[in-house]
Structure 1
Amino acid sequence: MSQQRLQLTWYNKDKALIPTETGKYGYTWVDPADPRYCETHTLVYDEYVEGKQTQKSEEFEYSERADLEPQDDNLLILGESGDVLEALTRVPELAEKYVGKVKLIYIDPPFNTAQTFANYEDNLEHSVWLTMMRDRLLHLKKLLSEDGSIWVHLDDVEVHRMRLLMDEVFGAGNFVAEIYWQNTYSPKNNGSGVSIDSDVILIYRKSSSFEVNRLPRTSSMNSAYQNPDDDPAGSWANDNPHARHAAGKYQHPGVYGIQHPITGKMLYPSTSANWCYAQSTVLEIMQGWGDYVYGDNTPEEMAKRREIEPPGVQLRDDVHPLVLRNFNSSSVKRAQEIQDGGPWPVFWLTRDGKGAIRRKTYLSNVAGRIPQSIWPYSEVGHTDEAKKENQSLFPDETPFSTPKPERLLERIIHIGSNPGDIVLDCFAGSGTTAAVAQKMGRRWVTCELVEDTFNRFTKPRLEKVVSDSDPGGITRTKGQRVDATDEGLPEGLSADDAQKLTSLLNKAISESPDLKKSADIRAVKQMVKTRRSKDVVNWRGGGGFQVAHLSPACFDYDPQLGRVMLTAAATGQVLIESVAANLGFSLLHPDDDYVFDGRRGNSLLKVVEGVATVEIVHWLASQVRPGETIVLAATSVMDGVRQHLRKAVKGSRVVAVPDDVFPYSAGGER
């Protein structure tokens, strides 16, 4: 019996959806072969919006991101997400550019919460919602690069169903994580009696090639790194020189003694532990303290190893201790000079050179933070922060009910992509994803269904981004608290901690005039003195984006007549581009005086709005080169033309529009 995979099933899963009304969330079930579902729309390009990068000013500091080249190969589309994705995956010119090329997809789809928001409807039935999302996910999977990832933002209504759906589309083995974003800073009075304070973001990868970019380290994390010996390699932290090992038949090769360069005592790893580096590396490190060599395996040496290794482990004679060639007052003096003057070797000595061996871990060698699955609002913002960002951009407009803060998208885009990569969002809304992608040096594609939202929010916001008229969000970072002392802050105390200490100290002595005048209190404040640095600019404007909208439908189906028909829009260049897209032909530029309208390999397309005649066939046959074939698409075909074309140019064919483009005559609406 064949093994069966667990699948999510729902009403009308085998059917497709078409919009009931243009520009709104509302759908009608149809047969998957219905041309109203199958038709590939093309893009109609409108204006190109461009901005200039603002020059630097002494008023601010500037991050590395502020020097990235602003991206200008971006695309903003007005249109239904399903039709847009169909265009991106099937129109040859677009498919070549985007299929398998998108590094990161973030979508914040309608949550299906049975509510109607100000800027879009969100009341889709579960089965409709699942079909809508299934069809879009299949397109999105095609667009993802092999090392890409998709992030789906949800609330608690559909997340369990979406998880199964994404398992089905992307494979359960490509699940990466379920992120919980704390979207509010105060409890909400929900009807359930439990305050729902988080949204969920599901992450799936295209394949095992996906890699996570780590997050920057925080100042508090870095505060543990100091440089008391002026090491030219930079700040370092106190780390363990030992590593644990499991018991084997023979003694671990990292178990041996090291002679202390100042006291002369032999130092050993702890029980069931070993020195963390290969002995050759340890020898090289210790030679920074003096003339170390391999010593003899004395009875005392072997006895110490026996204490470290478990009973029954056979000790090794080929592993020797590390000792000073001549331990005497001269060697001690040399080591003491290194201890007093620095810099110290990677294996350094505690208690002013008289204590145990410890290891330096350099900050420059430490990777960033591993992303965690719980994202507090303190790190990535909350809904109210997002509303304020929108209000600052559109003070006279009503903000979205569930906007996303730029800091949230900043983290997602940082983890899942790099500068120059393509980021896609097919539910644009206020345009946060595209805005943040532009500010982070990524290319982007986004679309919005509702024309009012597109014109009032999405497009104006992105115009502000490229023109550097959007100072909010991640454009600037407030100046950080930094050390303002002469001698440096006390070891282990960050600038933020020092500021908190000063604030608490001021509160504690607020009722005591004598303490306020105390020289000791003033001395403490001087020891922890900080200041706020300049604001940091991360984005200076620049780049641009192409504005486009979907072409009108050229094909329709009348269930009563049982026929596919052309719409009133199916004429002229619109018809040519539609036929080319639906037959998979790349358009030939009309300005180049081509006789033909499109090309697919060695096949040339000619679209005739009218009757295909023998005379047209003769003319077209005279224009092709050896090895080329013709596809003649016409809205009417004279008898005998098909046979004549096949004889004139072998391998050629005639396509009757619309019948041969969509040979659909059964099914329709159900």
Structure 2
Amino acid sequence: MPLLSWFNRDADLTRAARTPYRLLEPVASLSHGDPDSPNMLIEGDNLDALKALLPYYAGQVKCIFIDPPYNTRSAFEHYDDNLEHSQWLSMMYPRLELLRELLSEDGSIWVTLDDNEAHYFKVISDEIFGRKNLLGNIIWQHSVQGKNDAKKISLHHNHLFLYRKSEAFELKKLPRTNDHNVNYRNQDNDPRGPWRPGDVRSPNFRENLRYNIETPSGKTIEAPAKGWRWSKELFLEKVASREIVFLDDDTRVLRKIYLSDQEGRVAESIWFGNEVGTTREASGELASALPGVEIFATPKPERLIQRVLEAATQFGDLVLDSFLGSGTTSAVAHKMGRRWIGIEMGEHARTHCQPRLVKVVEGEQGGISEAVGWNGGGGFRFYKLGVPVFDENGHIREGIRFEHLAAHVWFAETGTARSTRTKKEAFLGEHGGIGYYLLFNGILGDDSKSGGNLLTRRVLRSLPKFDGPKVIYGEACTLPEEQLRELDITFRQTPYDIKAR
């Protein structure tokens, strides 16, 4: 597969791995609503924030929507969007790697861009997500008003790339409206109701589907070049049920596609502004939600995000936006009953996202609120990035709590996330037939030098039992190697044996 080369590419390939694991520190004064809400609004650089989320959310995010800087060579007030191509690629590549790790196997990522970087993005995303996992490049009509001052072509679209994590992802049908049913009629009073004509030819050549058909009047219709869509037996059944009919004096064949059989509609590759909103509509939504606050230059309308979440998620799924901007993705996810994580750097998390999401929790009626019946509720927790878990020498920083290190050990060993609500005990759990333990910060109630952080015979007897091979992390081990082998125990010393993924 062709690869894209740029300045600093080699360093960028390992940047995600070299990014330190940081703590996420709650800010109670900026949190709002239900104190037990799973929703997270994170302030800080999204590369650091994504790495901080991995031990807790790896493989759990159902849908990612991001609207990264477009690299338009114009200085927006809220973002320095004037980046060279190589700098833009250096920014995006490690973040896409981390986003992929956070996606569930049946998850998807949706990315909006314009022509400045869209095609470069596709090449690096083919590399990271796999070329076969590109499901489409959707064209979104972001404006309808012509630009008479345009020096080239008046542009009215953005790209919306859709990649899946794996074949486990299923694109959901979108709701139908009357506009989608205009071609269905019932001119022959078919008891099954309105229908539209469909093709009877096979889209791919199949020799066993090549057979001649005898019509009710005795005429013969020869097989098309690639054959029919069905076996001869099934074809004749559809003729008998009137699903297949002959026209033009029995010289033409068509099948009926019934409106009653249509459950929703497949998402199409062009999304028009009158259906999903425009940038102007989005600006109006923000002006209403954040009066007096300077809004971003290219916001996304709530209806656009609504369509993405309709196609990619269901109630209760986890949605992530690591370029949250003015908070639209989290606002729409909240109104649609999805869990969400939003990341925004600098003051914008406090000046734009937080106040907007407070209003959503309190039941604001802008955007899609009326369409989805939103009346308020729920809440979110506000977080800022804290110190790295490990210092520059690889040692565990003073003040790191057991649950922080447990999450990192579990993720390093299993590649899966550890719930923040998991019971606090030395036995971390079983994965792949192996039991994992962590002795740290006196988890066994003994802080003495010879106590709970060291693997001794006494400590081993006190550990929760697990029938199978075990991996035990601790500061030191007094058991001889022969006994460890006999007991099928692998001892790893903290912090030296904790490997970052």
The two structures share one fold, judged by TM-score above 0.5: yes
Q: Cα offset for 1:384?
A: 0.7
> Is the CA contact (8 Å cut-off) linking 1:42 and 1:581 kept in structure 2?
no
Indicate the residue corresponding to 1:454 in structure 2.
349
The 5 Å alignment of 1:1-400 reads: 5-15=1-11, 37-42=19-24, 44=26, 46=28, 47=31, 49-50=33-34, 73-89=38-54, 91=55, 94=56, 98-188=57-147, 192-226=151-185, 233-237=192-196, 239=197, 255-258=213-216, 266=217, 268=219, 361-366=257-262, 368-400=264-296
> Is the CA contact (8 Å cut-off) linking 1:614 and 1:644 kept in structure 2?
no
Indicate the residue corresponding to 1:655 in structure 2.
494
Unaligned runs of 5+ in 1: 18-29, 52-70, 259-265, 289-344, 477-536, 634-641, 664-670
Q: Given the superposition, is the C-alpha separation of residues 557 and 15 from structure 1 closer, same or farther in structure 2, using an over 3 Å criterion?
A: farther
Q: Secondary structure at the match of 2:360?
A: helix
Amino acid across the alignment from 2:53: L
Query: What percentage of aligned pairs have identical amino acids?
Result: 34
> Is the CA contact (8 Å cut-off) linking 2:141 and 2:158 kept in structure 1?
yes
Q: Secondary structure at the match of 1:86?
A: helix
Amino acid across the alignment from 1:155: D
> Is the CA contact (8 Å cut-off) linking 2:410 and 2:428 kept in structure 1?
no
Question: Normalising by structure 2, what TM-score?
Answer: 0.75
Indicate the residue corresponding to 2:449 in structure 1.
613
Q: Cα offset for 1:551?
A: 4.6
Unaligned runs of 5+ in 2: 412-417, 485-489
Amino acid across the alignment from 1:552: G
Q: Cα offset for 1:132?
A: 2.5
Indicate the residue corresponding to 1:406 in structure 2.
302
In the TM superposition, what whole-angstrom CA distance separates every residue of 1:440-472 from its partner, at most 9, and x where no partner exists?
Answer: 33332222222x322232223233333322x22
Amino acid across the alignment from 1:539: G
Q: Given the superposition, is the C-alpha separation of residues 554 and 426 from structure 1 closer, same or farther in structure 2, using an over 3 Å criterion?
A: closer
Q: Cα offset for 1:375?
A: 2.4
Q: Does 1:415 align with 2:308?
A: no
Indicate the residue corresponding to 2:414 in structure 1.
none
In the TM superposition, what whole-angstrom CA distance separates every residue of 1:304-332 from its partner, at most 9, and x where no partner exists?
Answer: xxxxxxxxxxxxxxxxxxxxxxxxxxxxx
In the TM superposition, what whole-angstrom CA distance separates every residue of 1:154-205 from its partner, at most 9, and x where no partner exists?
Answer: 1222222211111111122222222222212223366753333222122222
Indicate the residue corresponding to 2:369 in structure 1.
475
> Is the CA contact (8 Å cut-off) linking 1:241 and 1:275 kept in structure 2?
no
Alpha-carbon distance in structure 2 between the residues aligned to 1:117 and 1:463: 26
Amino acid across the alignment from 1:84: A
Q: Secondary structure at the match of 1:196?
A: coil
Alpha-carbon distance in structure 2 between the residues aligned to 1:120 and 1:183: 20
Alpha-carbon distance in structure 1 between the residues aligned to 2:437 and 2:296: 49
Q: Given the superposition, is the C-alpha separation of residues 31 and 271 from structure 1 closer, same or farther in structure 2, using an over 3 Å criterion?
A: closer
Q: Secondary structure at the match of 1:201?
A: strand
Q: Secondary structure at the match of 2:9?
A: coil
> Is the CA contact (8 Å cut-off) linking 1:75 and 1:545 kept in structure 2?
no
Indicate the residue corresponding to 2:374 in structure 1.
540
Amino acid across the alignment from 2:20: C
> Is the CA contact (8 Å cut-off) linking 1:269 and 1:275 kept in structure 2?
no
Alpha-carbon distance in structure 2 between the residues aligned to 1:132 and 1:632: 37
Q: Secondary structure at the match of 2:329?
A: helix
In the TM superposition, what whole-angstrom CA distance separates every residue of 1:256-307 from its partner, at most 9, and x where no partner exists?
Answer: 343xxxxxxx47576768999888889888989xxxxxxxxxxxxxxxxxxx
Q: Secondary structure at the match of 1:606?
A: coil
Q: Secondary structure at the match of 2:440?
A: strand
Q: Cα offset for 1:364?
A: 0.7
Amino acid across the alignment from 2:351: R
> Is the CA contact (8 Å cut-off) linking 1:580 and 1:605 kept in structure 2?
no
Amino acid across the alignment from 2:325: G
Q: Given the superposition, is the C-alpha separation of residues 280 and 247 from structure 1 closer, same or farther in structure 2, using an over 3 Å criterion?
A: closer
Indicate the residue corresponding to 1:494 in structure 2.
none
Q: Secondary structure at the match of 1:415?
A: helix
Question: Normalising by structure 1, what TM-score?
Answer: 0.58
Q: Given the superposition, is the C-alpha separation of residues 359 and 583 from structure 1 closer, same or farther in structure 2, using an over 3 Å criterion?
A: closer
Alpha-carbon distance in structure 1 between the residues aligned to 2:309 and 2:264: 16
The 5 Å alignment of 1:532-571 reads: 537-554=371-388, 570-571=397-398
Q: Given the superposition, is the C-alpha separation of residues 565 and 285 from structure 1 closer, same or farther in structure 2, using an over 3 Å criterion?
A: closer
Indicate the residue corresponding to 1:325 in structure 2.
none
Amino acid across the alignment from 1:126: H
Q: Cα offset for 1:399?
A: 1.7
Q: Given the superposition, is the C-alpha separation of residues 269 and 414 from structure 1 closer, same or farther in structure 2, using an over 3 Å criterion?
A: farther
Indicate the residue corresponding to 1:436 in structure 2.
332
Q: Cα offset for 1:424?
A: 1.8
Alpha-carbon distance in structure 2 between the residues aligned to 1:613 and 1:200: 60
Q: Cα offset for 1:207?
A: 2.3
Q: Given the superposition, is the C-alpha separation of residues 223 and 82 from structure 1 closer, same or farther in structure 2, using an over 3 Å criterion?
A: same
Q: Given the superposition, is the C-alpha separation of residues 235 and 606 from structure 1 closer, same or farther in structure 2, using an over 3 Å criterion?
A: same
> Is the CA contact (8 Å cut-off) linking 2:184 and 2:195 kept in structure 1?
yes
Q: Cα offset for 1:587?
A: 8.9
> Is the CA contact (8 Å cut-off) linking 2:442 and 2:453 kept in structure 1?
no
Alpha-carbon distance in structure 1 between the residues aligned to 2:451 and 2:245: 93
Q: Given the superposition, is the C-alpha separation of residues 246 and 373 from structure 1 closer, same or farther in structure 2, using an over 3 Å criterion?
A: closer
Alpha-carbon distance in structure 2 between the residues aligned to 1:6 and 1:564: 37
Larger of the two Rg values belongs to structure: 1
Q: Cα offset for 1:72?
A: 6.1
Amino acid across the alignment from 2:353: T
Amino acid across the alignment from 1:41: L
Q: Given the superposition, is the C-alpha separation of residues 556 and 383 from structure 1 closer, same or farther in structure 2, using an over 3 Å criterion?
A: same
Q: Does 1:466 align with 2:361?
A: yes
Q: Given the superposition, is the C-alpha separation of residues 557 and 31 from structure 1 closer, same or farther in structure 2, using an over 3 Å criterion?
A: farther
Alpha-carbon distance in structure 2 between the residues aligned to 1:245 and 1:180: 26
